[in-house]
Amino acid sequence: MTRSVPVLMYHYISRWKNPIAVSPELFEEHCATMARKGWRGIGLDEAEDFFIQGKPLPDKSVLITFDDGFLDNYVYAFPILEKYGHKGTIFAVTGKIETGETPRNTLKQVWNNECSADALPRVDQPYVPHALGFDERTDHFISWEEARLMEKSGVVRVSSHSAWHKTVFVSPEYDGFFQPGKRSRTFDRVDAEVIWGLPRFKNRPRLSNRAFIPSSRLMDAIRDLVPQEKEAAYAFFAEADNVERLKTLVEGFSKEELGTYEDDMAMQGALRQELAEAKATVEQKLGRPERSLCWPWGAFSPDALSIGKDLGYQCFFTTNMGANPGGCADHVHRFKAKDKPASWMMMRLQIYSRPWLANLYSSIRL
């Protein structure tokens, strides 16, 4: 019986150089080595039974997870998992899942000589040039049809990573202003009305924080000064005098005039909507009950956990390292899979399959 189940946390399976990307070649090395060493990537249903009920699992069981639902998980990870006899779980942001009806090509079609590598979707580079002169981020996500195909295969389960993976403003402190330009992060959208020229107020994950709401007076004053059409806004910020005028405008507001905080009822309503929408969408689109939730950024409040349980979620996945004994469903630990050789991966599997060693190692790493 497995005493602690290691849970791997991947994001991109892509040749794009990024701290949370693992190349498809290295991911295949991870999967091949795990299989050769007797490790088995289990299904989410098996893992849920272990985490919720303590139902025994074979030794060398591992749960392989992917956050966000990027298209490369379907193009590269899905066929590689199938090739080596593993199962995996994609925690997808349901509001980002695409609606295309025709499944796109995967690495399996390349292996079978059904298409060339050039016919695969563009998943190794998320940036494309924008007409205004900066690189624009265009991450692509799996579609519902592809999710159904993966679930039908029995290889990959698609589950909830919230509806939108948004942040909220959390204080009147700010650094700079919202303006057209290159986005550095995939999930940088704020759960609020954001206009060009709005101060970049300090923000944190939606599911763990009370929102600070910019005042209507501030919003109206900014709209009167800053054009809201993208090209015109870009031109506005290209002029230093315009930026100084905007700074002077905002500095004329006291902290109290910049905005207010949402009350308990509004906050809990927003949490419920975010979690309920994701669960209902998965169940409606994939035709089965949904028991698991993976917290965006691993962040949640006691209110969010309570609401999640009330909605029927039973198993909650974090981004914290640690042991996973049976019955740990309220706080399943995961460790980040890195773009490193399989020998690195195998050592971590040994660590996280032993409760005392997993807890010791994770405490040292904090």
In whole angstroms, how far apart are CA 18 and each of 14, 185, 343? Answer: 9, 11, 21
**In 14-64, which residue ranges form alpha helices assigned H by DSSP?**
24-36, 44-53
Would you say the C-alpha torsion 204, 209, 211, 212 has a positive or negative sign? negative
pLDDT at residue 1 in the model: 46
State pLDDT tens for residues 141-182.
999 999 999 999 999 999 999 999 999 999 999 999 999 998
The DSSP-derived string for 72-140 is HIIIIIHHHHHHTT--EEEEE-GGG-B--SSPPP-HHHHHTTSS-GGGS---S--EEE-TTSSEEE---
Using DSSP, state whether 13 is helix, strand or coil: strand
192-223 pLDDT, tens per residue? Answer: 999 999 999 999 999 999 999 999 999 999 99
- Rounded to the nearest angstrom, the gap between the alpha carbon of residue 272 and the centroid of all alpha carbons in its chain is 19
Q: Which fold has domain 7-161+269-365?
A: TIM Barrel (3.20.20)
Both structure tokens of 200: 């970049």
Mean pLDDT score across all residues of the chain? 96
Give the whole-angstrom CA distance, residue 317 versus residue 26. 25
Strands, DSSP E only, in 142-242?
156-160, 167-177, 199-205, 212-214
Beta strands in 187-304 (DSSP E): 199-205, 212-214, 259-261, 292-294
What span, in angstroms and rounded, lies between the C-alpha atoms of 234 and 232?
5
- Mean pLDDT, rounded, for 118-134: 89
In this structure, are residues 70 and 11 in contact, taking their beta carbons and an 8 Å threshold?
Answer: yes
Give yes or no for a contact between 21 and 12, defined as CB atoms under 8 angstroms apart. Answer: yes
| Beta strand ranges found along 209-266 (DSSP E) | 212-214, 259-261
Reported confidence tier of residue 92, pLDDT bands at 50, 70, 90 = very high
Phi and psi, residue 114, nearest 5°? -90, -15
**Rg of the chain's alpha carbons, rounded to an integer?**
22
The pLDDT value given to residue 366: 59
Q: How much is the pLDDT for 171? A: 98
Q: For residue 83, name the pLDDT band (cuts at 50, 70, 90).
A: very high
pLDDT, tens digit (0-9, with 9 covering 90-100), for 174-187:
999 999 998 888 89
Q: Which residue has the tokens 């980002």?
A: 96
Interatomic CA distance for residues 138 and 354, integer angstroms = 40
Residues whose CB is less than 8 angstroms from the CB of residue 230 and which lie 6 or more positions away in sequence, other chains included = 132, 180, 196
Residues of the chain within CATH 3.20.20.370 domain(s) are: 7-161+269-365
pLDDT of residue 2: 58
Query: pLDDT by residue (tens digit) across 33-58?
Result: 999 999 999 999 999 999 999 999 99
Distance CA 67, CA 60 (A): 22
pLDDT in tens, 329-363: 999 999 999 999 999 999 999 999 999 999 898 88
Q: Are 321 and 333 in contact (CB under 8 A)?
A: yes
